[in-house]
Each structure stands twice: as C-alpha cells, then as structure tokens.
Chains A and B, each alone.
Chain A
Amino acid sequence: DAGVIQSPRHEVTEMGQEVTLRCKPISGHNSLFWYRQTMMRGLELLIYFNNNVPIDDSGMPEDRFSAKMPNASFSTLKIQPSEPRDSAVYFCASSRPGYTYNEQFFGPGTRLTVL
C-alpha cells in the first residue's frame, strides 16, 4: 500500500518567492497533519484537518502560511512570501481517527531551503 506521498522532496527557492508543498494522505485516512521540523524547535504541528476541514491552525507561524485541503486525497501548504527562516523539513502525516488504531503515518518530508 502506498504511504503518505509528499512533493517535492527538495525545494530551493529565493526569499520572496511563493512555495507550495503538496501531500497525498493514505487512502481511507480522514485526518491530515502538517508539521515543520528544525534542529532548534524540533517537530512542530502547524495545522491539522479532519474530513477536509481545518480544526486547529494555531501552530501556523504567521499569515504568510496557508493550508488547504480541497478533497480527501490532497492538501497543500503554501508560503508566500518565503523567508530564510522558513527553511526546514515539512512533513505531512495522516491518520484514521478513533479511540484506538489512530496512529499517524508520516510522509518522507519536503526539505525547503530559502536563500
């Protein structure tokens, strides 16, 4: 079975440019999570969706960040305009919510470098 798919795997861009990260969750999972990982701050939850609806976006750093989930099989995280401090690895994860068996499964990540 395919796991969580993220694209691109690597992105190098210049400050001020728009960046769009993409995620395809595991089929049948209806919760999707965006995380950011840096050496300094570790793994931070940015936003998560249940049934395509954003539930908690309190981790989104600022208005330059936005996330959408137009359908159950696709989500995007957009940064506009990008800044060097946005450089990090961005992970998408999905889960099947419930009392048990609700483990999160992670994608391989997108390594973003903003010059």
Chain B
Amino acid sequence: GQQLNQSPQSMFIQEGEDVSMNCTSSSIFNTWLWYKQDPGEGPVLLIALYKAGELTSNGRLTAQFGITRKDSFLNISASIPSDVGIYFCAGQHRNDGNQFYFGTGTSLTVIP
C-alpha cells in the first residue's frame, strides 16, 4: 500500500504558539484530508483538499495541498489547550477507488 510519512511524531508547545505539521507520500494523490482525534473518540474531519496548490482555512487551522500532489501541511495558529489530540493526514488517489491512506499521526500537547 501507499506510505504516508507524517511529521513530527509528537509536539509539545506552549499555549499561544503556532503549530506546523506535514505529510508526504511516495505517490501522487487527488485528495488530502486532515483529521483530529480526541482521546476515546473517532477521528473528526478538519479540512478537505481537492486541488494541487489549494490553501484552505477552517478557523485557526490552515491546510495546503502541495503543488507536487505528494504532500500536504497543516498549520494551527495561536494554539489553545483544546487543540490537544492526535492529528492524522489521509490521502486518496481516485484510481484506488474510495480508499484513503492514513499517516501515522502527530500527537500535539499544548502546555497552558
């Protein structure tokens, strides 16, 4: 299957700081998704990207679909304690049907 490398694996930041994480793949994708998972819950969709170069925001979150179609990044500005969780990227190539490939996750800890 496709390999998605997500980095960093974990982050410990002070409240108010900005956060940046990224995801790279070994092949091109047509869709990138970013999810957040809180403890004991399922992943919740944050942002969906469908076009190379696309930059999309959702509140303090901004994600971009890399121009090479092999990467994506997620930025969180002015972090707050409730941003704590695990963030996953997921990519899909339309020739693979509806299957998404998930990154290994970035664990974010925000220190008040």
Partner-B contacts on A (CB < 8 A) = 4, 31, 33, 42-43, 45, 48, 50, 55-56, 91, 93, 95, 97, 99-109, 111
A93 / chain B contacts, CB cutoff of 8 Å: 42
Q: What is the predominant secondary structure among interface residues of chain A facing chain B?
A: strand
Q: Tell me whether B77 is interfacial, beta carbon within 8 Å.
A: no
Partner among B31, B41, B97 whose Cβ is within 8 Å of the Cβ of A100: B31
Do residues B94 and A99 form an inter-chain contact, with CB atoms below 8 A?
yes
B98 / chain A contacts, CB cutoff of 8 Å: 31, 33, 48, 50, 55, 95, 97, 102
Please name 9 further chain A to chain B contacts, defined as beta carbons within 8 Å, in addition to the given A4-B42, A93-B42, A111-B40, sorted by A numbering. Answer: A33-B98, A42-B102, A43-B102, A45-B102, A50-B97, A55-B98, A91-B42, A105-B45, A106-B42
**Contact-residue bracket for chain B:** 20 to 34
Do residues B99 and A102 form an inter-chain contact, with CB atoms below 8 A?
no
Q: Tell me whether B108 is interfacial, beta carbon within 8 Å.
A: no
| Bound Cα distance from A18 to B40, whole angstroms | 24
> Smallest distance from the beta carbon of A37 to chain B beta carbons, Å?
9
B48 / chain A contacts, CB cutoff of 8 Å: 101, 103
Do residues B104 and A42 form an inter-chain contact, with CB atoms below 8 A?
yes
Q: Tell me whether B88 is interfacial, beta carbon within 8 Å.
A: yes
| Bound Cα distance from A111 to B35, whole angstroms | 20
| Bound Cα distance from A104 to B43, whole angstroms | 10
A105 / chain B contacts, CB cutoff of 8 Å: 45
